[in-house]
Amino acid sequence: MDNDTPTSTPVGDRLPGLLEKLDSATQALANAPDFAKPGKLGRVLDIARRVMLQEGGCAAVEERAEILEEAGLYLGSDWATPHILVPSLTTHSLKSPDMATVVIEALSELRLLAVARGDYTHPLISQEQAHHYLTQVMAMNLSLLFSGPSEAERETQGRLAQLPRLLLQHLASRIGYEHVIDRLIEEIWRILHQRPIQVDSVKQMITQIAICQVDPEIDLGTSGQGADRLVSSLYGPTQTCREDPGVAVFAERLRGMDGQALQMEATGFARAMHDTGLVSPYHAILLRHLMDHGDYLVAEALGLSSTGRDCLLCYRELVMALIREAVHPTTPQSAYGMALMLERGILYQPAVAPSLWRQLALPLSQWSRDRLQMAYGDVATPRALLLEGVLCMLGQPLGVGQGNNPTCQSARALSMWGFNDPDYLLQMVAWAARDDEIIMHFEGQPISSRESLSGVATELPMDLDAVSLLVVPHLDRIYAEMGRRCVDRGGDPHRWVNPEFHGWWSGRGFRINVDVETGLLVDLEDFLRHFYASYHPYYNGNQPLIHPQPAGIAVTDSAARFIGWHAITILRVALDPEDYMRVYFFNPNNDSGQDWGDGVTVSTSGNGERFGEGSLPFEQFASRLYIFHHDPLERGELADISTEELERVIDHMRRSWGAQRLSGEQLQATSGA
């Protein structure tokens, strides 16, 4: 038996000795000069790991939190600035195969627990801030409290996989579940407001809430008031299945219902689906049952307006075939994708319906079948999984996410095609799923995904929706190959790549405010005046944006520090409910609601956003923009923006990602401003 496991030896025989070693190693770290601390750090982390794996170990480390930090444990790392740590990143740190990353993350959480309980007065983060941060961390890692390590975790982390679970159990005992559940519910609704295609993680969080509700050992107090709506959306949307009887029992109950009872069921399921964006497995059973009871009830169960009903009636055979093949209890989200697709009316585009008939009969390659089964298991057939993905992408083109992969360009392309050119998207799916090859053209020359070298991603991405899973590896290689063909041209390759990769509607005019060779900011004033003239309704003759346009932003963290370049889509520019001009955009980075520092926080709801959109006031968006496209034949006069507004935008740049990109002359101008 491993000596590091909590049950290996009695507490009295094991923990005191380890704590003596930890105190000694901590003192050695404290005594070492800064340049020598990295050499002492490994011993501290190794002993701390062994301590935390003992019963009572986390509490002992919590008592030493201040001493550990003062010794220089976090020196030179992101953990040295706890006030700007991001809770969502802990899900990756705590599951990391790297021992040092897991241990230092755990030590940081125990430090913040000491701050939250008032035992450690920290100069950078308040007691309230630490408490709020920890509730977010627990909410996002709640599954670790209720389940053992997965096979993947055991493979990558080994015995280390127990440490995050012991940590979270300690946090829960100190903070209380009541705070966590409320924060978790808030986080779920925030995500659902963006209507992502991938909702498995959300469903898992809702399942954890349901477990907490029925566990007699967990006292939720007055918390969790909004949980019933979420739990019922999956496990009991209507009275007929309120007690979650199982799909077989529910199907039997449906067979005994008359028309009026079925209509009530249909209305109840539709309301729950459109309210949350989540679909219960019971909903799939209902839809399949209603196919034999009239089109009206099917339309009612999908929650269709007059537009969607007309589309269903015009393409009835296609819709029924899609329900038969795609809507199953194991692929229920296809019902929501289908409802939104019908509401969009895209079946009226001549090529879309024939493309969907082709999709229904499409033979999948062995590679495609293997990829789908590797990612999703055998819960459904590869054909049904792919059809579910297709319907969701056609219905929710702004719900596409890139996963934990550097493939924002490919995710943006899929979203743009689903939004703007659905039959082209279906053609891409057919090529990738059937032929294991996609051929695109760059300035008249064909590029094959099969013959191209590696793409931006170093590994095949797996944490994607079914369509992205098959198509993105091909698009990634083609995108990278287009970039390689521009390498000797000078300037930024996106000037030529974006219109060829994304579609004809991408403007051939191109503006950038960064010198590619030096990385310094250039022509800021002209860049901004041109952007205002191209996109701001007050400066472009009140011309709405006709086609979504690719753009590039400089992403910053909550301390406004530069992180990297990122591809987004500008969707529209309009006044929000408070009459502020905002830019509404698509961010493929799974979660658009981000704090970019210096007061720039992306909104995803409450400011006129449609599902899947993020938004910022025009000035704030302009301050993070570094690339945009425009039509060179449109009016090109530079916008007559006031000096004050221009300075506000440029000051945002100087205080964030542009801070290290100013030339000597620009620095002099800044100091004189």
The answer to whether the CB of 103 falls within 8 A of the CB of 45 is: yes
Q: pLDDT tens for residues 339-391?
A: 999 999 999 999 999 999 999 999 999 999 999 999 999 989 999 999 999 99
Q: pLDDT tens for residues 561-593?
A: 888 899 999 999 999 999 999 999 999 987 888
Region 452-465: mean pLDDT is 78
Q: How many residues in the chain?
A: 673
Region 136-158: mean pLDDT is 70
- Over 90: is that where the pLDDT of 120 sits? yes
Model pLDDT, residue 147: 59
Closest to 511 in 3D by CA, of 551, 484, 569: 551
Q: Which two tokens stand for residue 643?
A: 């000096």
* Beta-carbon contacts of residue 453 (< 8 Å; ≥ 6 apart): 477, 480, 481, 484
What do you get for the CA distance between the two ends of the chain, in Å?
Answer: 68
Instruction: Please state, in angstroms and rounded to a whole number, the distance separating the CA atoms of residues 654 and 645.
Output: 14
Q: Residue 220's Cα: distance from chain center in Å?
A: 29
Instruction: Please state, in angstroms and rounded to a whole number, the distance separating the CA atoms of residues 308 and 670.
Output: 56
Kindly compute the dihedral angle of the four CA atoms of residues 138, 141, 146, 150, in this order, to the nearest 10 degrees. -160
Model pLDDT, residue 531: 95
CA angle 97–99–102, rounded 5-degree value: 85
Q: Which two tokens stand for residue 356?
A: 């969907």
Q: pLDDT tens for residues 288-345?
A: 999 999 999 999 999 999 999 999 999 999 999 999 999 999 999 999 999 999 999 9
DSSP type of residue 455 = -
Pairing outcome for strands 625-630 and 439-442: unpaired
The answer to whether the CB of 319 falls within 8 A of the CB of 295 is: no
Model pLDDT, residue 215: 76
Instruction: Please state, in angstroms and rounded to a whole number, the distance separating the CA atoms of residues 279 and 267.
Output: 13
The answer to whether the Cα torsion of 178, 181, 183, 189 is positive or negative is negative
Which among 1-10, 142-151, 212-221, 305-314 has the top mean pLDDT? 305-314
Q: pLDDT tens for residues 208-252?
A: 788 878 877 676 666 667 788 899 999 999 999 999 999 999 999
Model pLDDT, residue 7: 39
* Beta-carbon contacts of residue 22 (< 8 Å; ≥ 6 apart): 44, 47, 48, 51, 61, 64
Helix crossing, 422-430 with 352-361: angle to 10°? Answer: 20
Instruction: Please state, in angstroms and rounded to a whole number, the distance separating the CA atoms of residues 231 and 191.
Output: 15
Model pLDDT, residue 4: 42
Cα–Cα distance list, 528 to 544, 618, 621, 631 (Å) = 18, 11, 11, 16
The answer to whether the Cα torsion of 267, 269, 270, 274 is positive or negative is positive
Region 393-418: mean pLDDT is 92
- Over 60: is that where the pLDDT of 662 sits? yes
At 640 the three-state DSSP class reads: coil
pLDDT grade, residue 636 (50/70/90)?
Answer: low
- Over 60: is that where the pLDDT of 6 sits? no
120, burial (CB in 10 Å: exposed 0-12, middle 13-18, buried 19+)? buried
DSSP type of residue 67 = H
The answer to whether the CB of 251 falls within 8 A of the CB of 282 is: no
At 361 the three-state DSSP class reads: helix
- Domain layout of the chain by residue ranges: 11-175, 349-485, 509-672
Region 419-428: mean pLDDT is 96
The answer to whether the CB of 90 falls within 8 A of the CB of 105 is: yes
pLDDT above 90 covers a percentage of the chain that reads 70
Model pLDDT, residue 639: 81
The residues that bridge with 549 in the sheet, in sequence order, are: 570
Q: pLDDT tens for residues 65-92?
A: 999 999 999 998 989 999 888 888 898 8
Encode 600-610: b = buried (16+ Cβ within 10 Å), e = exposed: bebbbbebbbe
The answer to whether the CB of 463 falls within 8 A of the CB of 404 is: yes
